[in-house]
């Protein structure tokens, strides 16, 4: 690399009026955000077009200059989209890169676009528009994952597996029921993002640097043109608030936490020790040294990406904490974190939807695991309450002795002869056998939200209606 000049000779073309000399190279380097914020180009140009139309309508800008600006901005957009645009670090950020190119294209009229606005309200507007678009994209991704889960859940509404607490076999459940639990979590994730979208959908444009402007602008007009519900009420708040980004990151983090739990279960279920689930070749990798391996890399990476999401949330929170009003340059670092989080969540959701859609289930292995671990012990206790009228605490104690006996004999609860049961509680009858099987156990859990296959089928239909309707 050639040595960097210590400073550039000319002052900044956009704001350099009061400067005799240009910035040090390292100053340019620390100051520039173009590598990150070029992703705002579409929102930036959209915002500028709305601002331009409003300036024309309010006669702050002549129709002629306005038309030139409009044409120029569209040309800049086309250049960026076709990859022809040359982004320059010396021009700091997306706003000045666009404006400088506009000046090259249409001449001095370009300088009139920045009337009655500042980069402070400009960037706040662009960023809100970007996060709003990101939320809409993520909502679709979440919905796709919900659909994959509901499809699988319907197919496996009656597939019995062990339900766990403490990761110890607890009571039999169905695989479909387990998957629908995630559908509910993802539904709340969508709700949180929708809340965030509702609150962020106000326009900062026209707040100018911090105090508003003396030009007769129409903030309602630009807000409407950009799809915002209304202009933000306070100009200082408009340029200095980033709670919409924090809210987005916290909603994204919670979604990531949900995904990481599902990812972890996939990692667990695909081990030979569990053997409940097989991921497709498309979502597994081999090992360069151990030929037998099928590693669930995608699931592991989804689990890991949650670190990025939470890292972004904590990073931006720390950065915002204690910042005085109004704008401070610290806030330029907000975008990198939000982009990283949105990308990580988007990719994780896509990978998870693919894994779920493709996976196959070993229903025999699941059922076998459910019959071990004395998982129908609660059903015996419930039977003792129902059939013999025992208080539940006593029934629990009696069942505990039955479990110990089965354990000592090295078999399942179903293997115990009636005489052995009666030795523990003489009033037990042959009828108890009816509650010992895992199918009977799950079928009996018919309370609302319970795991009975009939419930699961109904819940899947309900979920389709609640979450997948267009």
Which residues in this chain contact ligand ARG in the complex, by CB under 6 A?
33, 37, 93, 119-120, 123, 327, 329, 331-332
**C-alpha to C-alpha distance for 147 and 156, rounded to whole angstroms:** 14
| 177, 451 contact by CB (below 8 A) | yes
Catalytic residue among 8, 62, 114, 166: 166
Choice between 93 and 99, CB closer to ligand ARG: 93
- Please, is 337 exposed, middle or buried when counting C-beta atoms within 10 Å of its C-beta (0-12, 13-18, 19+)? buried
Choice between 153 and 326, CB closer to ligand ARG: 326
**C-alpha to C-alpha distance for 102 and 121, rounded to whole angstroms:** 20
Pairing of strands 160-165, 168-174: antiparallel
- Is-catalytic flag, 241? no
Residue 258 CB: number of other CB atoms within 10 A? 21
Catalytic residue among 62, 280, 287, 328: 287
**C-alpha to C-alpha distance for 274 and 111, rounded to whole angstroms:** 67
Residue 295 is classified by DSSP as: B
- Is-catalytic flag, 166? yes
**C-alpha to C-alpha distance for 344 and 148, rounded to whole angstroms:** 20
- Please, what is the minimum distance in Å from the beta carbon of residue 97 to ligand ARG? 10
- Please, is 181 exposed, middle or buried when counting C-beta atoms within 10 Å of its C-beta (0-12, 13-18, 19+)? middle
- Please, what is the minimum distance in Å from the beta carbon of residue 38 to ligand ARG? 11
**∠ Cα 131 263 441 (to 5°):** 125
Choice between 39 and 152, CB closer to ligand ARG: 39
| 344, 384 contact by CB (below 8 A) | no
3-state percent helix, strand, coil for the chain, nearest multiple of 5: 65, 5, 30
- The phi and psi torsions of 170 (rounded to 5 degrees) equal -115, -70
| 252, 345 contact by CB (below 8 A) | yes
**C-alpha to C-alpha distance for 370 and 333, rounded to whole angstroms:** 51
Choice between 35 and 136, CB closer to ligand ARG: 35
**C-alpha to C-alpha distance for 241 and 197, rounded to whole angstroms:** 15
- Please, what is the minimum distance in Å from the beta carbon of residue 41 to ligand ARG? 13
Write down the number of H helices and E strands in the chain: 18, 6
- Please, what is the minimum distance in Å from the beta carbon of residue 95 to ligand ARG? 6
Paired strand residues for 165: 168
Pairing of strands 277-278, 360-361: antiparallel
For residue 6 the two structure tokens come to 């210590």
Choice between 68 and 208, CB closer to ligand ARG: 208
- Please, what is the minimum distance in Å from the beta carbon of residue 454 to ligand ARG? 55
For residue 163, give the 3-state DSSP assignment: strand
- Please, what is the minimum distance in Å from the beta carbon of residue 30 to ligand ARG? 12
- Listed in sequence order, the residues at least 6 apart from 153 whose beta carbon sits closer than 8 Å to its beta carbon are 175, 176, 177, 179, 180, 183, 456, 459, 460, 463
User: Looking at 285-413, which runs of residues are DSSP E strands?
Assistant: 360-361
Choice between 39 and 141, CB closer to ligand ARG: 39
Choice between 123 and 255, CB closer to ligand ARG: 123
CA 148 remoteness from chain centre: 16
- Please, what is the minimum distance in Å from the beta carbon of residue 3 to ligand ARG? 27
Choice between 91 and 442, CB closer to ligand ARG: 91
Choice between 178 and 335, CB closer to ligand ARG: 335
Placement of tokens 């979920």 in the chain: 463
Could you list the active site residues? 166, 287
């Amino acid at each position: 690399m050639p040595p960097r000049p210590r400073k550039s000779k000319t002052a900044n073309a956009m704001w350099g009026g009061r400067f005799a000399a240009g910035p040090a190279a390292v100053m340019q380097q620390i100051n520039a955000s173009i590598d990150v914020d070029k992703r705002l180009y579409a929102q930036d140009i959209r915002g500028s077009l709305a601002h331009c139309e409003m300036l024309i309508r309010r006669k702050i800008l002549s129709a002629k200059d306005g038309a030139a600006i409009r044409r120029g901005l569209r040309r800049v957009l086309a250049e960026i989209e076709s990859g022809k645009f040359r982004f320059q670090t010396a021009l700091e950020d997306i706003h000045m890169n666009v404006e400088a190119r506009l000046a090259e294209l249409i001449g001095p009229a370009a300088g009139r676009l920045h009337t009655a606005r500042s980069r402070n309200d400009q960037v706040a507007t662009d960023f809100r528009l970007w996060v709003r678009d990101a939320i809409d994209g993520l909502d679709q991704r979440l919905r796709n994952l919900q659909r994959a889960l509901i499809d699988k859940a319907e197919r496996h509404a009656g597939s019995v597996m062990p339900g766990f607490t403490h990761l110890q076999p607890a009571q039999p459940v169905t695989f479909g029921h387990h998957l629908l639990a995630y559908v509910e979590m993802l539904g709340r994730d969508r709700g949180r993002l929708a809340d965030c979208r509702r609150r962020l959908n106000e326009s900062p444009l026209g707040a100018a640097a911090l105090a508003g402007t003396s030009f007769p602008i129409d903030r309602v007009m630009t807000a409407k043109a950009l799809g915002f519900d209304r202009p933000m009420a306070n100009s200082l708040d408009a340029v200095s608030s980033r709670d919409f980004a924090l809210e987005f990151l916290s909603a994204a983090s919670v979604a990531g936490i949900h995904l990481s739990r599902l990812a972890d279960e996939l990692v667990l279920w695909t081990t030979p020790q569990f053997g409940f689930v097989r991921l497709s070749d498309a979502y597994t990798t081999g090992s360069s040294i151990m030929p037998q391996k099928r590693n669930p890399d995608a699931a592991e990476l989804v689990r890991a990406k949650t670190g990025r999401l939470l890292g972004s949330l904590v990073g931006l929170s720390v950065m915002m904490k204690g910042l005085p009003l109004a704008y401070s340059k610290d806030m330029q670092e907000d975008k990198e974190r939000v982009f990283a989080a949105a990308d990580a969540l988007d990719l994780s959701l896509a990978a998870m939807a693919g894994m779920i859609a493709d996976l196959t289930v070993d229903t025999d292995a699941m059922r076998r695991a459910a019959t071990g671990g004395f998982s129908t012990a609660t059903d015996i206790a419930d039977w003792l309450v129902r059939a013999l009228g025992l208080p539940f605490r006593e029934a629990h104690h009696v069942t505990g002795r039955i479990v110990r006996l089965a354990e000592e004999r090295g078999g399942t609860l179903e293997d115990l002869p009636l005489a052995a049961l009666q030795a523990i509680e003489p009033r037990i009858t042959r009828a108890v056998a009816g509650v010992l099987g895992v199918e009977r156990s799950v079928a009996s859990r018919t309370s609302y939200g319970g795991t009975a296959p009939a419930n699961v089928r109904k819940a899947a239909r309900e979920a389709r209606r609640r979450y997948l309707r267009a």
